[in-house]
Structure 1
């Protein structure tokens, strides 16, 4: 399939002061779009000016939430070049999400080609300042106009781009996390490992309550026993416990994070043992109080590595370590971002240059 390149006649103004970049608020001049029809497959691939879509009010995505998305970044490196971090992993997960929601897969090689061409055309939008990047959001939605719970026969797939600064306005200030005891994020057999909008919509009420109580994020417990920690709203989470890194196993209820996998591999190479096991909330709280739990950090594309300084469960609040960013957390952050920005060698073949 060929990609049509459409001209941009009214370019947008860039934000000149990159310290004022806000996550997900400004979008570039162009986007990639292609369409799917049953019996025809994917067609009409194009890079066109960024613009609203017109959808039928009966489009299935609006009623039954048949939708998936991804998130990855492009980085401006010291020599001015632009690189993607593990894009093949994101595209592979995009197809895994599509399979779970009965949506058609994309050709992974073609999709990467389209993504690279889009970023090449929008290269001026990749910011230059330290800690900034170009956030990439591939999305697929069901567009068939019919009311009825069934897989769609028509889909729209697109990629939009957004120049971003640091994900958290407070920078590396450790976050305060509320452990939800009433709400759950996902259950065994559900769509917890799928990157779909429904998972995030279901988390909004708990996140709203956490924010009202002065917390930055929600830490979810398992749906069956309500006692084992799983992941944070926008991140996977890891704990440095008895000198080992402990994190929830991948058993279908949490996202298989690309950043999570990268961090665990880097930590292993630093000599740390990794335990992917269920950790109870009581073990976590008691570990913080006894000193067995010395660090906690979230991992995700948007946040990269985010230190956790405090946990609250019901009426019990604990401080992790001294409440500041831990030594390992900072070391892992520097190692990962060093690879992404070209400041350290990529010995894992994670980086794809544009």
Structure 2
């Protein structure tokens, strides 16, 4: 039901194609985050119009609401949400560790890690829950998502070598339990490489995860506050030990420049809340870098948001009008901003795929970075 082929490559950059039960995905691909089964400020038709190929949803959030019973009665996430294209669900591990910490007012973590699993407070009611690797797989099998992720431990930055090492081994043991518990053949399980920012631990985690011979491999624990150069170097380290013929997914990354740089290092799949979250605050991406449309400088600027963009927002509205909508806190501001940011990401990935096919990715990378950083 699943396959992955590399159509073209240039150095470490790959142009591929993913076959899934719910459709074909051209890679490299950016996956918008639909945490609650919907991309914020969007409806599925707008995502279709942009050309979005796959959406990501979150096990932690969907478990809390609407709850597993509702999704099961609906026949799975595709039926419940009305999204007919491929879906990826993450394990919720990152949310368990990040959101549960925010529940505490005395600087004590709301998370306790055991060999059996993770105990955590939910960020809505503060009630206690317990996720095991088996439960996370069970939840995602009810969801029926195309790609599923095992429970892993998300380590903070910075952390100690000793803790990162124990976390790598625990994540591997949890992966083995996830593999053993998985039943559905119409879902593809990815292994997650951890190891914080220690090259030898990343190597151990990558090689050990690859030994499990899974459909694809994800890189977790990056974009958690570290310098970009450090993130890029960790991606390089991990990709060196991942099989060429399997898809590679960099979790929670990134900004537009991260996509370009990490494709150059061998990544095929990305997700991040950045384009949608930033759109809701008025930060919009253009060919010459990002701008905050709420600035006074745009009050009488009647030019398109981005002259090089053909999205609905850019073809129909001026910077001045968009600024007005944001300042007036009109709901349409968030819709139009999100349409543009996701279109910007989609077009960037299209350009990357074309450049790899033509064997001109490195020159594209240099020229794109120069223009994007020009701040014209």
| Same fold, judged at TM 0.5 (above) | no
Considering fraction of residues, name the structure with more strand.
Answer: 1
Considering fraction of residues, name the structure with more helix.
Answer: 2
Task: Name the TM-score, length of structure 2 as normaliser.
Answer: 0.27
Task: Name the TM-score, length of structure 1 as normaliser.
Answer: 0.28
